[in-house]
Amino acid sequence: MILAANVSAEAFAQLTASGIFAGAAYGLLGVGFALILGVTGRFHFAYSFTYTFAAYMAFTFWDRAGLPFWPASILGILVAAALGVAIERIVYRPLAVRAGATALLAVFVASLGIGIAGENVIALFWSSQSQAFGGRKAHFTQDVWHIWKVNFLNWDVYQTVTGLVLVLILAALLRYTSLGRQIKATRVNPDLATIIGINANTVYLICFGIGTFLAGVAAFWYGVQFTVEPSMGQRPVIFAFVVAFLAGTASGPVRVFFTGIALGLVEKWSSMWLEVRWTNTAVFVILFLYLISKSLQGKNLFGWLKLARA
Amino acid sequence: MDFQIWTFYLSQILIYCALALSLNLLLGYAGQVSVAHAAFGAIGGYTVGYMMTIHGWGFVPSALFGMALAFGVGVLVSLPAMKLSVEYLILLTLAASSIIIGVFTTIKDLGGTYGIISIPNITIFGWHMERKSDWVIPTLGVAIIVFAICWRLGESAFGRVLKGLREDPLATQALGKNVFGYKVAVFGITSGLAGLAGAMYSGWLSLATPGLFGFAFSLTIFAMVIFGGMANLTGSLIGATAVTLLDPILKRVIKIEASRASVIQLIVYGLALAILMRLRPQGVLPEGRTIWSYIRRRKPQTRMEMITEDWVPETKVVIAGGHEADVREQARRESRWHGAPVVLEAHGVSKSFGGIVAADDLHMELRKGTITALVGPNGAGKTTVFNLLTGFIPPDAGSVRLNGKELVGLAPDKVARLGLVRSFQDVRLFQRISCLQNVMLAVQQQYGENVGRLFFGPLAVARREAEVREKAMDWLRFVGMSNFAEIPAGAVSYGQSKLVSLARALATDAEVLLLDEPASGIDTKWVDSMLDLVEAVREQGRTVCIVEHNLHVVGRLADHTYFMELGRITAEGTIDELTNSPRLAEAYFGTA
Amino acid sequence: MEPPDLSAREEAPLDPPGAVKQRTQLLSIENLNAGYGKKHVVFDVSMHVGEGEIVGVLGHNGSGKSTTIRSVLGVLPPFGGKVIFRGEDVTRRGSRLNVKNGMALIPSERFVFQDLSVTDNLLLGGANDPDPERRAQRMELVYKLFPILRERAEQLAGTMSGGQQRMVSLGIALMSHPKLLMLDEPSLGLAPSVVHQIFDVVRQLADTEGLSVLLLEQNVGQALRIADRLYVMRSGRILLEETVEQMKARDSYWDLF
């Protein structure tokens, strides 16, 4: 049957821990995606490609170019961020200007194409096999920590903490700096932002840079823990979409991050009642229910009219 | 070249064509983005696998059953899709795809992650499918059936409403179309067709696995439609063929090693998609174009040369007078207004949005064969009144009666069907379809809007369609735009689009027309022609209400005028009476 | 900048169009044509604004007032014509440069950043000014003009009353130290007393700071109270240019609208 048996307290604690760890990765990805979609309105499907690209670039700088581990990793992530910025500048912006009202669909399609092509370019240059990223030279060894009866991997903890720290830095940036205010202003009221002389194009590029950077960090930790492969971006990025939409793409980074953690918890906890093979589907059922509730309360037609007129 | 291998590719192309065609009806015609099309195919494929291996059904009943199931699931998915914008629609269909494939992957009877891998001995109408090459005929049959259905639905009165849905669902609803019903229907039908194609796919490969129908395949089908051209069925055939043939061309013609070829294939098609969006976003074969039109180098008509500075509409309507009414004329009109029977009566209509009162206890009457004007300063809530009367915004209180029938609580399309139709201040024509199609869409009770009749009464449908066309053409002639009948509405000038929008409202045959700023933005040279038209509409015995800022227009047209300020109607009478009141002048122009 | 002489203004002789103006010209618009896509809204509009002058532009919705100033600022590229600001041709220059150069515009709707605090709104207005000291000074000026904003500094702008939001919008514009302020229907939806207060501040700024104002209004009465000169627009064209006295002398405005 679908329902599984009772769960012990230890197992519950272990599931909670792994839920938080998995959720922190979803959350970080969601924050980046929400920043991009919320501010620029681009449905950036190629986010999965830049994610994968970051891990591969870090891997290449370290393994092939022989740079030390940390500089190589940071450089790799930055190169991926530059790629994200380039995609916005070279592909999305001219497309959106041309497509006008149908920009969202046009950008989505182009993004889809870039994502598919990019993933396979990686496969072409690095082979489509998965590769060990961190383990081989034991630069970064796995370590198991115990707290009470729960096992932690040191990587899990590092990943969650870096994620949290980056999200808090982003939140502070948005709150306390002029750049952050300009980003928020562009999200809240793009028309007025242009009127007071904020250059929306620059803000968009910055959001792509930040968003892609965050995804790159998530990809780096994923690579450290598992292996890198061209298709590694697909599943986590779909989770990032889900997180960003559940939290609301206009919400702040902290809220999006914790929505990610909540989703991780739901995914892991649901294995207490559901067989593991159902848990993935459970997440999408939640998303589906959320969308149903959204369409039920809906925007009322007045909101619709106003939107359509604006 | 090996015959078997090429027939294999041929069957594959035909099945992909069926999937792309059905998605095009949904995406290209109705404008509903779906990244779950392969998952609907999976419902057909898995049904075939399950019913044949476990229950020993035959292929044909299994496939039909799968199609019915896919139809049902499609309808279910369409329900929450009603009010969602594009990005949420992408997300919704992504979730639907993941759930459908996820469920199939986890059910043990369906083979789990391995899927159903040995679908046995398929017989179609007594014909054993022994070799793969036997499948060419049945897959061709299905592709033809799907093409025929999509063509019939897409290129008909039904398809016209779908395009309206794509261009502007609100304006479509304002013309009396049951937007909700059409959306459910098109989701259901296209999902059902995908189910049928999926059943063929699984039958042909003897497989139904999660990987076969995964999200990546949905995206591929999506890409075929975009590549070929949205709302162009021939384009989808080209798209499906091109995407399928990329594989053998790389492997067998250019002779790239197989594993490399599949990678390069995806790079090529990914890049092609991105480049296409930049260079030719409408696809290889844009909407409304045929291959023939390229071979014969016939450019679509644009008539841009007609949209010049000194263009004026060739209306046959000439109203004697044609200038502002003097006081005596106004008094005469006012008494005519009082003598005419009330057609529409609003009583105590109120509405507030979060504490801000948009309409407060409105009372108004529209009388038969007269023009009533609604004037007032900016922000008084005049357009809101139109929204309240037509049901686009449900009032908090009050009643609106059209010939005694209560309208409050009815959906806007129902209100429009009862004979109360509004135009929009910002025109809202359906940009990518022709002016004639815009007006044809407005005709009520069209025979060809019914799916059943499209297939079972083709002759009557064709006859009625010709009638609708003739009627729409008459209205275009009436407003002086018949020369532009075949031009896309997005290509005419702003003033001309106002004329088309008037023709569109008139073609609904509605008894009462609410016109939101009919003369604004029109070239001063022929603004009088527009006013002549509105007067001619009154001569036809229709009831008209206009919202207008230009008081000269009001003075010329109105039989009776309501004055509105801050959500309330505070005065009524002739325009002279209103403008002579110092208090109203103060309300309109403020005080020092 | 000469101190404004109100009595002189009262008796100022009518400037016939085309005559040499006494004030130094800050902005002149020459034969501007503009619109949205295919929709041609503004036809051959010419206007000028002198330093420290408040110029009213009257007309109903859709008369082309807003389109004109959006083209002047550069958020909407004009179809044709010229915009001269501070002696330079700034036609088709982007809004960013124009704002840096001293233009400010307040739209008629959605004129604050609703989800941001009052302080953040004001700081955004001054974002192009690299000098923090001058920013602080400007903020002090805004708070002095509208003390309520200092009290509500941390409140989200979207939660304030309509009048207070108008003040915030004026504050945003003033933070960029503008020479020319373009106000789009600032009286819309406000109680007369609030309109009165805000208009007084605008007049005061013109007199003390030499701020030039292009005031788009339907509220003729209030506009007449503070304007130096008026244009009336209808259907995207300038119908007439008049002094305040000429306008006041009319017994009805209906035929202008």
pLDDT, averaged across chain C: 88
CB contact under 8 A, A121 and B267: yes
CB contact under 8 A, A196 and C112: no
Indicate if the pLDDT at residue A141 is higher than 60: yes
Give which of C74, C51, C234, C254 is closest to B375, Cα–Cα: C254
Q: How far is CA B468 from CA B254, B288, B441, B487, C206, in A?
A: 53, 20, 9, 18, 63
> Crossing angle, helix A253-273 and helix A9-40, to 10 degrees?
140
Pairing of strands A131-132, A227-228: antiparallel
- Those residues of chain B that have pLDDT short of 50 are 305
pTM of structure? 0.91
Give which of B68, B82, B46 is closest to B191, Cα–Cα: B68
How do residues A59-94 score in pLDDT, each as one tens digit? 889 888 888 888 999 999 999 999 999 999 999 999
CB contact under 8 A, B281 and A292: no
| Residue C40 with chain B: CB contacts under 8 Å | 494
Which one has a higher pLDDT value, C30 or A296?
C30
Output the pLDDT for position A270.
84
Give the one of A181, A189, A197 whose C-beta lies nearest to C95's C-beta: A197
Give the one of A181, A191, A199 whose C-beta lies nearest to C124's C-beta: A181
CB contact under 8 A, B94 and A241: yes
Indicate if the pLDDT at residue C3 is higher than 70: no
Q: How far is CA C175 from CA C121, C141, C207, C208, in A?
A: 10, 9, 18, 16
Residue with tokens 């001219």: A94
Which one has a higher pLDDT value, B308 or C120?
C120
How do residues C27-37 score in pLDDT, each as one tens digit? 999 999 999 88
CA dist C33 and C41 (Å) reads 8
Nearest-neighbour CA in chain B from C141: distance (Å):
27
CB contact under 8 A, C40 and B586: no
pLDDT, averaged across chain A: 87
Output the pLDDT for position B301.
55
B173-207 in b/e form (b: 16+ CB < 10 A) is bbbbbbbbebbbbbbbbbbbbbbbbbbbbbbbbbb
Q: How confident is the model at residue C4 (pLDDT cuts 50, 70, 90)?
A: very low
How do residues B424-479 score in pLDDT, each as one tens digit? 998 999 999 999 999 999 999 999 999 999 999 899 999 999 999 999 999 999 99
Query: With contact defined as beta carbons under 8 Å apart, do B390 and B419 qualify?
Result: no
DSSP letter (8 states) at residue C230 = E
Beta partners for B513?
B421, B544
CA dist A278 and B105 (Å) reads 9
Report the 3 state secondary structure along B284-325.
CCCCCCCHHHHHCCCCCCCCHHHCCCCCCCCCCCCCCCCCCC
CB contact under 8 A, B260 and A124: yes
CB contact under 8 A, C40 and B494: yes
Residue type, B458: P
CB contact under 8 A, C114 and A188: yes
**In 10 A of CB C247, how many CB atoms?**
20
Q: Which subunits have 3 or more CB–CB pairs within 8 Å of chain A?
A: B, C
Beta partners for B124?
B127
Output the pLDDT for position C18.
44
CA dist B573 and B560 (Å) reads 6
ipTM: 0.89
Beta partners for B546?
B373, B515
Alpha carbon of residue A166 to chain centroid: 13
Output the pLDDT for position B322.
52
Provide Rg for chain C, Cα atoms: 18
Which one has a higher pLDDT value, A145 or B454?
B454
Q: CB of A185 within 8 Å of any CB in chain C?
A: yes
| B71: its two tokens | 């139809």
How do residues C180-232 score in pLDDT, each as one tens digit? 999 999 998 888 899 999 999 999 999 999 999 999 998 898 999 999 999 99
Output the pLDDT for position A128.
79
Which of B308, B378, B583 to mutate to test binding with chain C, by most C CBs within 10 Å of its CB? B378
Q: How confident is the model at residue A297 (pLDDT cuts 50, 70, 90)?
A: low
CB contact under 8 A, C176 and A196: yes
Classify the C-alpha dihedral B347-B348-B353-B356 as positive or negative.
positive
Indicate if the pLDDT at residue A305 is higher than 60: no
| Residue A295 with chain B: CB contacts under 8 Å | 79-84
Give the one of A114, A284, A287 whose C-beta lies nearest to B270's C-beta: A114
Output the pLDDT for position C16.
47
CA dist C214 and C68 (Å) reads 11
Output the pLDDT for position C14.
46
For chain A, percent of residues with pLDDT exceeding 90: 56
Output the pLDDT for position A197.
93
The length of chain A in residues reads: 310
Output the pLDDT for position A6.
61
Helix %, strand %, coil % for chain B, to 5?
60, 10, 30
Indicate if the pLDDT at residue C19 is higher than 70: no
How do residues A6-34 score in pLDDT, each as one tens digit? 668 888 888 899 999 999 999 999 999 99
Alpha carbon of residue A261 to chain centroid: 12
Beta partners for A146?
A151
Nearest-neighbour CA in chain C from B464: distance (Å):
35
Contact map slice: C 162-181 vs A, CB within 8 A: 172-173, 176
| B215: its two tokens | 């999200």
B521's torsion region: left (phi>0), alpha (psi -120 to 50) or beta? left
Contact map slice: C 236-255 vs B, CB within 8 A: 252-255
| C61: its two tokens | 């919705």
Indicate if the pLDDT at residue C249 is higher than 80: yes
CB contact under 8 A, B102 and A284: yes
Q: Which subunits have 3 or more CB–CB pairs within 8 Å of chain C?
A: A, B
